[in-house]
Amino acid sequence: MQNDKINLSLIIPIGLMLFSFFFGAGNLIFPPVLGQMAGDNIGWGMLGFCLSGVGFPLLGVLAMAMKQSDNPDSIAMPMHPLYARAVTILCALAIGPLFAIPRTAAVSFDTGIHSLLPASCEAIGLPVYTVFFFVLTYFFSINPSKIIGHIGKFLSPMLLICLAVLVVCVFVNPTGSLKMPNPDFAASPFFRGFQEGYNTMDLLAAILFGSITIKAIEAQGITDKKVLTKLCSYAGLIAAFFLAIIY
């Protein structure tokens, strides 16, 4: 591949890959909960949610694109190497074993598998599903050179199709009408939505996901720094677009 060549066949899969990185369990459950709480103030609530839940993570990806480095420490290195390493470790722990990773398996099990199991299998169902879930995740992510193909060209389009079907079904067959907002969203829906956007934890993940995106781009043979910056920036914009539309 030519290092100075940018085309949609490369940009779109990278953007979808980054979108799927960000769109985890929290992204699936928090916006509907916000919508329920915001009621007929949903517009202002979602505007605040998208500012913190989409805009700030996008800035993180753009910052990594400007650094042109696949090392997440590089973004904070000018302050102090130890500080940079501490920030990276804390972000990795927060979006990894401490918070985000456990809920990815738990949410997908509760929303998609739990209702299909007989009562006698509920106790063993989650452990078995969790093992299967993370083995499959490991398979799709172990090879950086194939991660764009596995996630950007295969899993992300499937995810978007499933979400589109879900959204259409909700609009075609709604369960009710917009309700009155709860007190927090009645008084200040924008700022309450802004606070809720942090629950996705995407801001913490932005630097790490940005570095993974750069590494995946480099694995495609792209070494020109300017092209690297453009591809990573376009990927961030594509990911932000789909996140905002789905929210």
Q: Using one digit for the tens of pLDDT, what is the confidence trace for 73-122?
A: 888 888 888 988 998 898 888 887 787 777 778 877 887 777 777 777 77
pLDDT of residue 178: 76
Q: Would you say 38 and 181 are in contact if contact means Cβ atoms under 8 Å apart?
A: yes
Say if residue 2's pLDDT is above 50.
no
pLDDT of residue 119: 75
Residues 6+ apart with CB under 8 A from 43: none
* Residue-range domain boundaries for the chain: 8-80+144-171+178-246
Sign (positive/negative) of CA torsion 216, 222, 228, 233? negative
Say if residue 4's pLDDT is above 60.
no
- What is the value of pTM for the model shown? 0.75
CA distances from 40 to 23, 24, 44, 179, 214 (A): 25, 26, 9, 6, 41
Average pLDDT over every residue of 54-61: 90
pLDDT of residue 184: 81
Instruction: Using pLDDT thresholds of 50, 70 and 90, give the confidence band for residue 185.
Output: confident
Number of C-beta neighbours around residue 137 at 10 A: 13
Q: Would you say 199 and 210 are in contact if contact means Cβ atoms under 8 Å apart?
A: no
Average pLDDT over every residue of 187-192: 90
pLDDT of residue 1: 45
Tokens 């917009």: give the residue.
178
**CA atoms of 51 and 169, how far apart (whole Å):** 27
pLDDT of residue 46: 92
Burial class (CB in 10 A: 0-12, 13-18, 19+), 138: exposed
pLDDT of residue 76: 81
Which residue type does 59 have? Answer: L
